[in-house]
Structure 1
Amino acid sequence: MKDMMGNGFITNAEAFSVSTQIYVRMRRVTGRVIDAMYVVQNKDYAKYVIALALETDDDELKRCVERLRSLTDTIPEAPQKEMLTKVELNEESEITAEEIYRAQVPHHYIGALR
């Protein structure tokens, strides 16, 4: 059951289906939400969600977790973390009001033009 969708890949449609069921049940039981797409893309996150779901002691979540556990072999490992370059700032440089404005997100949205 391999499938591809648009820009993202769903490596296993059944794992995605189970993760959406876990999403719905966790939201009802605990009020917490998970990223169902990321569960299918990252095995470490899938294991974290499994542990989080088991903490609730909900029978329906336990059934979904067992289904997801059987599918975790199809979920890819997390990619190696890339080395981040350090940006060194000079002590003499000051941040201007213009730089602060450009760094803020709201000016990118149409609503900010009103």
Structure 2
Amino acid sequence: MKESMSNDVLVKAEAFAIATQMYVRLRRVSSRVIDVMYLVSNKEYAQHIVDIALATKDSELERYVARLSPLIDLYPEPKAAVIAAQKGRLENEQVDASDVYSNEVTAEEIYEAQVSHHYIGALR
């Protein structure tokens, strides 16, 4: 676990260093500004920026892409994919009706919300 976290930190640190260099070069070459932090955390965005950098046909950007591409493959799986997998698993499970929280508000809950939490009532 510790080694995995250490590896993730190293990958993100190296990707950040390369992405900041790409930011400067892309701005000079094509007047394009990228989001470095998003590039480091999102695999799809990183691949999109790699495609943009290669389209400029700049030799320096091609070197940065060559350094960044292996790191992109090491990025963790996107959270949306993880959530979708969990959602699919949960949809297959049966949900007991007694486990579902009732959305109905009781009179007691309304009273508790109104009494002591009002600004003027709190000052008295």
Q: What band does the TM-score fall into relative to the shorter chain?
A: 0.5 to 0.7
Matched residues, number: 77
3-state SS, counterpart of residue 12 of structure 1: helix
Deviation string, structure 1 residues 50-108 (Cα, Å, up to 9, x no partner): 000000000000000010001112223332188xxxxxxxxxxxxxxxxxxxxxxxxxx
Structure 2 vs 1, CA of residues 31 and 66 (structure 1 numbering), >3 Å: closer, same or farther? same
Give, in angstroms, the shift of residue 48 of structure 1: 0.2
Q: Is the 8 A contact 1:44 1:77 kept in 2?
A: no
Identify the structure with the greater helix proportion. 2
TM-score (norm 1): 0.60
- Tell me which residue corresponds to 2:68: 68
Identify the structure with the greater strand proportion. 1
Q: How large is the RMSD of aligned CA atoms in angstroms?
A: 2.2
3-state SS, counterpart of residue 60 of structure 2: helix
Distance across 2 between alignment mates of 1:59 and 1:11: 23
Pairing of 1:21-36 with structure 2 (within 5 A)? 21-36=21-36
Distance across 2 between alignment mates of 1:23 and 1:61: 10
Give, in angstroms, the shift of residue 26 of structure 1: 0.1
Name the % identity: 49
- Tell me which residue corresponds to 2:108: none
Amino acid corresponding to residue 31 of structure 2 in structure 1? G
TM-score (norm 2): 0.55
- Tell me which residue corresponds to 1:13: 13
